[in-house]
Amino acid sequence: MSITAHQVVTLHYVLSDVLSDGSTRVLDDSSARDKPLEYLHGHDNILPGLESALEDKTAGDELRVTLAPADAYGIRNEDLVQEVSRASFGSAELEPGSRFQTEGEAGPQIVTVLSIDGDMVTVDTNHPLAGHTLRYQVNVLDVRDATRAELAKGHPLPPGTEHSKVEDRKVL
């Protein structure tokens, strides 16, 4: 069965960051964690560039996909580095490198603390991988039709989940 919209795909991947000298640094390896990725194709569950590369592949296929920053987590935007009041973090313990998830204009976003100077905190709201070229080594393990419940929710669900037990995310 070929990967097309509305199918659940199970795969193992190795995600690497392509460094400026052309070498790579492994960021994540689903095989090493013994936890394959399962996603619903065509429902924005994974990066669009990776999803596009997987279109029409079948179980057993292996591929290498390199995504430029614009096709991954975007081009780094220095306007997203800002100074905010320490009070914005409440009683949270802060140090450079600390990361928090907050609600941004376009949904959840990751905020990274860059520095602390008295009552002012410099934060970066770029995605931590913005500006990075990424390489995926992918092994497609399984492709199956999504259940009615999975289509209603927009992502894979545990086996046996009945469609009558989930709320449909689609607006009528």
Tens digit of pLDDT at every position of the chain (172 positions): 999 999 999 999 999 999 989 899 999 999 999 999 999 999 999 999 999 999 999 999 999 999 999 999 999 999 999 999 999 888 889 999 999 888 877 778 889 999 999 999 999 999 999 999 999 999 999 999 999 889 989 999 988 777 666 666 554 3
pTM of the model: 0.82
Cα–Cα distance between 49 and 72 in angstroms, integer? 7
Domain shared by 20 and 40, yes or no: yes
Domain shared by 82 and 106, yes or no: yes
Which structural domain, as residue segments, surrounds residue 28?
Answer: 2-73+130-153
CA 164 to chain centre: 29
- Report the CATH number at residue 106: 2.40.10.330
N-terminal to C-terminal alpha carbon distance within the chain: 31
Do 156 and 39 touch, CB atoms closer than 8 A?
A: yes
Do 98 and 29 touch, CB atoms closer than 8 A?
A: no
Length of the chain as a residue count: 172
Cα–Cα distance between 7 and 37 in angstroms, integer? 14
